[in-house]
C-alpha cells in the first residue's frame, strides 16, 4: 500500500506519542533524534540520529518522507524554507512556526489581528523595563526571552529595575509583559488541516506549579459557554490567520474580570492536550498526524464528563517501577503514560489520565497516582 511516511523531527515524548497514534493509522514513521536513547527513538523503527540544526542532516532525513512535522519548535526557520524549496511539505510551515519560535513576532502579529493579549513590548534594558512598568501600573512585570523559553525557563517575574538586570545578561531580545491578574489558566486546543478543515477540543483548565504544567482538567470546570466558545473561536482564527497546520495550543489567562488573554502559542501536540489520549474520541496526536497528511480530521469530542491529566515529574528515586505497579493495583482504571526517560528531579517522565462522572474522584485519582509515582505521596 502507498501509505505515507511521516518524518518527525525531534525524539521527545511528543514524537513518541505521535508515533503511537500513527500505528493504527497504518503510517510509516521516520524519526530524526538527537540520540538513540531519546524517548521516541526507543519505540520507532526508522530512526536517524542527527542534529536538526544542520541543514544537510535535515535534507538527508527528509528524503523519502511525505511530510515533515515536529516534536519541538526549534528547527531554524531558514532550514524549513530550504526543505520547502526542495519540495518537501513542512507542517506547520515556517511562516506559521516563526510565531511559536519568537514571542516578539507572536505578540506583534496577535496584536495586529486584534487578539486579546497582555500589554507588552520589547524592552532594551532595565531602565526600559522600569518605564514599561510605569506604563502598565507598576511592578511586578513579566520578562521573557523572545526565543527558547519553555516550562518556566526564560521567564522572570521582576519586582524592580534591579531585578530586571538578569534577563538581559544573555544578550538576547527581551519582551516585557504586564503581570495579568488571572484567576486561572486555560488552553484552547485546535487542529487544522492544510485545506482548512479544523476541529476544536473542549477548552481545558491548566494548573501550573513552579511554571510547569501540573494538572489539566477537561473541560475547564465552571467555564461559561460563551467564554469557552470565544476561546475556541480565537484559537481557530489564530490558526487560520497564521496558517497553522496540525495541532495549535493557545494558552490563555482567564482574568478576574471575565476576559481571556493569550499567554503562549504552541504549534505541535501539547501537554494541555494529553488528556485527549484517553478522554476524547480522537486524540490530539492522531489529529495532528491526520492534519499534517491532509487526511480528514477525527471527532474531538470528549468520551467522559470529566478527564484529568497530571504530569509525572521525576522525584528523588530513580526507579519508578515499584510505584508504577502499586498505582496499577490501586486503580485499575488509571491510564499511565510513561516516556521511557531517565528519572531526574523535576523532569517530566510521564503523565496519568483519569476520567469519569465525578470530578472530585477523577482529580483525586490522577493526583494520587502522579504524586505516588514521583514519591511525594507514600501511602
Under the binding rule (CB under 8 A), the answer on residue 63 touching a copy of itself is no
Q: Which of 211, 296, 345, 346 binds a copy of itself (CB under 8 A)?
A: 296
Question: What torsion do the CA atoms of 325, 205, 213, 242 make, to the nearest 10 degrees?
Answer: 130
Flag whether 144 is marked binding.
yes
Under the binding rule (CB under 8 A), the answer on residue 338 touching a copy of itself is yes
**Which range binds a copy of itself by CB under 8 A, 71-79, 122-130, 204-212, 335-343?**
335-343
Element (H, E) at 68: strand 67-70
Q: Shortest gap between Cβ of 89 and a copy of itself (angstroms)?
A: 16
| Residues 76 and 59: beta-carbon distance below 8 Å | no
Element (H, E) at 212: strand 212-218
Under the binding rule (CB under 8 A), the answer on residue 64 touching a copy of itself is no
- State the number of CA atoms in the 13 A half-sphere of 298 facing the CB: 18
Under the binding rule (CB under 8 A), the answer on residue 233 touching a copy of itself is no
Q: Shortest gap between Cβ of 356 and a copy of itself (angstroms)?
A: 10
Q: Shortest gap between Cβ of 118 and a copy of itself (angstroms)?
A: 36
Flag whether 177 is marked binding.
yes
Flag whether 103 is marked binding.
yes
Q: Which of 232, 263, 282, 284 binds a copy of itself (CB under 8 A)?
A: 282
| Residues 97 and 76: beta-carbon distance below 8 Å | no
d(CA 196, CA 194): 5
Q: Which of 35, 181, 321, 379 binds a copy of itself (CB under 8 A)?
A: 321
Q: Shortest gap between Cβ of 46 and a copy of itself (angstroms)?
A: 9
Q: Spell out where 12-110 has E strands.
A: 28-33, 46-49, 67-70
Pick the closer one to a copy of itself by CB: 104 or 279: 279
Under the binding rule (CB under 8 A), the answer on residue 37 touching a copy of itself is no
* Close Cβ partners of 196 (under 8 Å, ≥ 6 residues apart): 240
Residues between 250 and 279 that touch a copy of itself (CB under 8 A): 277
| Residues 145 and 174: beta-carbon distance below 8 Å | yes
Pick the closer one to a copy of itself by CB: 339 or 372: 339
Q: How far from chain centre, in Å, is Cα 74?
A: 13
d(CA 22, CA 298): 13
- Hey, what's the cell of 140? 511586578
**Which range binds a copy of itself by CB under 8 A, 75-83, 216-224, 251-259, 331-339?**
331-339
Q: Which of 1, 112, 210, 225 binds a copy of itself (CB under 8 A)?
A: 1
Q: Shortest gap between Cβ of 174 and a copy of itself (angstroms)?
A: 38
Name the 3-class secondary structure at 348: strand
Q: Which of 169, 195, 210, 329 binds a copy of itself (CB under 8 A)?
A: 329
Residues between 107 and 166 that touch a copy of itself (CB under 8 A): none
SS3 content of the chain, % helix, strand, coil (to 5): 30, 30, 40
Under the binding rule (CB under 8 A), the answer on residue 316 touching a copy of itself is no
Under the binding rule (CB under 8 A), the answer on residue 345 touching a copy of itself is no
- Hey, what's the cell of 127? 531602565
- Of 224, 219, 269, 218, give the one whose Cα is nearest residue 100: 269
Instruction: Give the orientation angle of helix 77-85 with respect to helix 55-62, to 10 degrees.
Output: 40
Name the 3-class secondary structure at 9: strand
| Residues 313 and 350: beta-carbon distance below 8 Å | no
Q: Which of 54, 86, 342, 361 binds a copy of itself (CB under 8 A)?
A: 342
User: Where does this chain bind a copy of itself (CB under 8 A)?
Assistant: 1-4, 16-17, 19-20, 23-26, 28-29, 41-45, 47, 199, 277, 281-282, 290, 295-299, 303, 318-321, 324-325, 328-329, 332-343, 349-350
Q: Which amino acids are annotated as binding site for ATP, given as ranges?
A: 103, 144, 177-180, 185, 263-264
Amino acid at each position: 500500500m502507498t501509505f505515507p511516511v511521516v518524518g518527525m523531527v525531534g525524539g521527545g515524548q511528543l514524537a513518541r506519542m505521535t508515533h503511537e497514534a500513527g500505528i493504527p493509522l497504518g503510517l510509516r514513521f521516520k524519526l530524526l533524534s538527537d540520540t538513540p536513547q531519546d524517548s521516541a527513538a526507543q519505540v520507532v523503527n526508522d530512526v536517524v540520529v542527527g542534529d536538526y540544526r544542520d541543514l544537510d542532516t535535515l535534507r538527508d532525513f527528509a528524503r523519502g518522507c511525505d511530510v515533515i512535522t515536529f516534536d519541538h519548535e526549534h528547527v531554524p526557520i531558514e532550514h524549513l524554507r530550504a526543505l520547502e524549496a526542495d519540495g518537501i511539505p513542512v507542517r506547520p510551515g515556517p511562516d506559521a512556526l516563526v510565531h511559536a519560535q519568537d514571542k516578539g513576532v507572536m505578540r506583534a502579529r496577535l496584536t495586529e489581528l486584534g487578539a486579546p493579549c497582555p500589554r507588552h513590548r520589547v524592552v532594551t534594558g532595565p531602565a526600559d523595563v522600569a518605564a514599561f512598568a510605569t506604563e502598565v501600573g507598576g511592578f511586578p512585570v513579566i520578562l521573557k526571552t523572545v526565543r527558547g523559553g519553555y516550562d518556566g525557563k526564560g521567564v522572570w517575574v521582576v519586582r524592580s529595575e534591579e531585578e530586571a538586570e538578569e534577563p538581559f545578561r544573555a544578550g538576547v531580545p527581551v519582551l516585557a509583559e504586564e503581570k495579568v491578574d488571572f484567576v486561572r489558566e486555560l488552553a484552547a486546543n485546535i487542529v487544522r488541516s492544510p485545506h482548512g478543515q479544523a476541529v476544536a477540543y473542549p477548552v481545558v483548565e491548566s494548573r501550573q506549579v513552579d511554571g510547569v504544567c501540573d494538572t489539566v482538567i477537561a473541560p475547564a470546570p465552571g467555564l461559561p459557554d460563551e467564554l469557552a466558545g470565544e476561546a475556541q473561536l480565537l484559537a481557530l482564527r489564530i490558526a487560520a490567520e497564521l496558517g497553522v497546520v496540525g495541532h495549535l495550543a493557545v494558552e490563555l489567562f482567564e482574568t478576574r474580570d471575565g476576559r481571556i488573554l493569550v499567554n503562549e502559542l504552541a504549534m505541535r501536540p501539547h501537554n494541555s492536550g494529553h488528556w485527549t489520549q484517553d478522554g476524547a474520541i480522537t486524540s490530539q496526536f492522531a489529529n495532528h498526524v491526520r492534519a499534517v497528511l491532509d487526511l480528514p480530521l477525527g471527532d474531538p469530542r470528549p468520551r467522559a464528563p470529566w478527564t484529568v491529566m497530571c504530569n509525572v515529574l521525576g522525584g528523588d528515586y530513580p526507579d519508578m517501577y515499584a510505584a508504577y505497579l502499586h498505582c496499577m493495583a490501586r486503580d485499575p482504571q488509571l491510564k499511565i503514560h510513561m516516556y521511557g526517560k531517565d528519572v531526574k528531579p523535576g523532569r517530566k517522565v510521564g503523565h496519568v489520565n483519569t476520567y469519569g462522572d465525578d470530578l472530585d474522584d477523577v482529580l483525586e485519582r490522577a493526583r494520587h497516582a502522579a504524586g505516588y509515582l514521583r514519591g511525594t505521596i507514600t501511602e
